[in-house]
Structure 1
Amino acid sequence: MIKLCVFDFDSTLMDGETIDILADFHGVGDKVKNIAHSPNKLDFFEALLKKVSYLKGMPYTKVLEIGQKLPLMNGAYELCEFLKSKNILLIICSGGFYEGINPAMEKLGFNMGFANHLHQKNGVLSGLVGGEMMFLNSKGLMLQKLKKMLHLKSEEIMCVGDGFNDIAMFEESGLKIAFCANETLKSKADICIDKKDLKEIIKAI
């Protein structure tokens, strides 16, 4: 009996990557995208710091405006309504930013979310970032805490994600769903959805 569903945000609940969308607006899209292909392979934490550093000087009001308009994934509303009808708690764990997940949580009726804050000073981004989801294993550590706080067992939790930093939350969950995911995450999943439509998860479960 599933009681909690934990979602990744970027390229899972939202159709795109928040950092890429912000970087494109700020005119540094190529620099941010190139970090993933750099010969000097950065870990998740280092890559996040590097990417956010390129956003320095961006008006914070524009960040919030973009956050309100991020495109939700096809089927997001339907899947969330279905899960809520089964009295399943909905939580986001995102290696992205509160400026992106907060509007989505409000629209979709989520119970809680965890992400990172883009630091701003005097109305502009400083290029710094901090929060609960800064490391590759952050989602798993957060899920461990949630299980203790909510008195849940792993088999009562399902999670949906697409990337390497979702592996840690897969390890804490009973039902693991890879959504348009990389091959590494697929290999650890119970269910793989390759169509960009979250309603496919309703059929699968």
Structure 2
Amino acid sequence: MSASTEFAPGLTLQNLATPQKLSDYKLIAFDMDSTLITIECIDEIADVTGKKAEVAAITEAAMRGEITDYKDSLRQRMALLQGVPMASIERVLQERLTLTPGAKTLVDAAHAAGLKVLLVSGGFTYFADHVKSLLGIDFVRANQFEVKDGQLTGGLIDQSWGDICDGEEKRSTVLGLASLMGIEPEQVIAVGDGSNDLPMMRAVGLSVAFHAKPRVRAEAKVAINTGGLDRLLEVLG
């Protein structure tokens, strides 16, 4: 299809040849915050400490693409969270983190069709590892916040690949894993909602915007605007 087409209510396709099957692909990569889960973890950490307005404003600007340096935006937000106790972060995980409707259905369907599943996030391993265990995800890449004396220092820990998983790191992770698996980028699906997901979405065979910012919806081959993540199965039967 050369133009945007309403495939079903709340489900838009553009430049996508149909029909396709999930088993045509070998890897599916998901963003985490506001994609696999319903919250933005860093905003919720800020909320329990009374700083949500300041942090959420930076998050929203970054996701819309108004702040073009994701690394800088994350460092700004982390600095505002210096001194937050780990007990508050545990509260967010236990009380506020909720899987997006359809997430488990889609991940299970992907596994059943022979795909590997990657969670690649500009968020934190503290939450990503929990989501990995809930959904049986195969691979995770995310940021690791620094903790000292039971509190956030406001910094991030260097990992073998770097310190911050931004849009370019998401792209590099997806393409690197595809190479290790011996598959082509065209055999990969990438699902996200924000501007920092665009680099990986542009690099793969099928890009999926989930309840996404307008800029992301405009570029994606599939846009899920209503309902859960499992609506992708309406396109990839």
Query: Which of these residues, 128, 133, 143, is aligned with residue 174 of structure 2?
Result: 143
Counterpart in the other structure of 1:7: 30
Give unpaired runs (5+ residues) of structure 1. none
Counterpart in the other structure of 2:212: 181
Q: What is the CA deviation profile of residues 23-63 of structure 1, one whole-angstrom value per residue up to 9, with x for unaligned ones? A: 0011111111233459x956211110011111111112432
Secondary structure in structure 2 of the residue aligned to 1:137 = helix
Query: Which of these residues, 76, 81, 86, is aligned with residue 60 of structure 1?
Result: 86
Q: CA deviation at 1:170?
A: 0.9
Question: Highest CA radius of gyration, 1 or 2?
Answer: 2
Check if 1:80 corresponds to 2:107: yes
Counterpart in the other structure of 2:198: 167
Q: What is the CA deviation profile of residues 104-144 of structure 1, one whole-angstrom value per residue up to 9, with x for unaligned ones? A: 11010100110001110111110112455433311111122
Q: CA deviation at 1:196?
A: 3.8
Secondary structure in structure 2 of the residue aligned to 1:96 = strand
Which AA in structure 2 matches 1:136?
A: G
Superposition pairs of residues 94-133 of structure 1, within 5 angstroms? 94-130=121-157, 132=162, 133=164
Q: CA deviation at 1:89?
A: 0.5
TM-score by length of 1: 0.92
Distance (Å, rounded) in 1 between the aligned partners of 2:191 and 2:67: 26
State how many pairs are aligned. Answer: 204
Worse-matched range after superposition: 76-85 or 6-15? 76-85
Q: More relative contact order in 1 or in 2 (CA 8 Å, sep 6+)?
A: 2
Distance (Å, rounded) in 2 between the aligned partners of 1:68 and 1:114: 21
Q: What root-mean-square deviation, in Å, do the aligned CA atoms of Structure 1 and Structure 2 show?
A: 1.9
Which AA in structure 1 matches 2:141?
A: F
Give unpaired runs (5+ residues) of structure 2. 1-23
Superposition pairs of residues 23-42 of structure 1, within 5 angstroms? 23-35=46-58, 36=60, 41=67
Runs of 4+ in 1 over 4 A off after TM superposition: none
